[in-house]
């Protein structure tokens, strides 16, 4: 980012300026796709709960109802990947990271 700032400040070397811009755009795309993939995982894991909930679980045998209840209890929490135990990548996290540089 500092290299981009220096390249655009002097505008003397167009090739260096374009290289810095492509470098920053590449990193932004990398961060976005990592966060997007994690967001899809979060969405899919919470979707399991809702699909079980709207099914006709009450028509199932008692043993199956208990298993479905157990599955609902486990999936209501959702699944998320944690980066270093401090950051959960998601689209909200991507927006936070991008706003950090503004």
Q: Total structural domains in the chain? A: 1
**Averaged pLDDT in 10-residue chunks for the chain of 102 residues:** 62 74 90 94 89 89 92 83 87 88 70
Here the tokens at position 19 are 């290289």
pTM (two decimals): 0.72
pLDDT of residue 87: 87
Q: Which domain holds residue 11?
A: 1-101
Query: Per 3-state DSSP, what percentage of the chain is helix, strand, and coil (rounded to 5)?
Result: 75, 0, 25
How many CB atoms neighbour CB 40 within 10 A? Answer: 12
Here the tokens at position 50 are 């809702």
């Amino acid at each position: 980012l500092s290299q981009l700032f220096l390249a655009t400040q002097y505008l003397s070397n167009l090739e260096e300026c374009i290289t810095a811009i492509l470098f920053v755009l590449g990193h932004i795309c990398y961060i976005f796709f990592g966060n997007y993939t994690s967001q899809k995982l979060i969405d899919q894991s919470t979707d399991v709960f809702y699909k079980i909930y709207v099914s006709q679980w009450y028509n199932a045998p008692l043993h199956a109802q208990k298993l479905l209840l157990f599955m609902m209890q486990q999936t209501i929490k959702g699944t998320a990947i944690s980066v270093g135990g401090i950051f959960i990548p998601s689209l909200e996290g991507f927006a936070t990271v991008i706003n950090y540089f503004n």
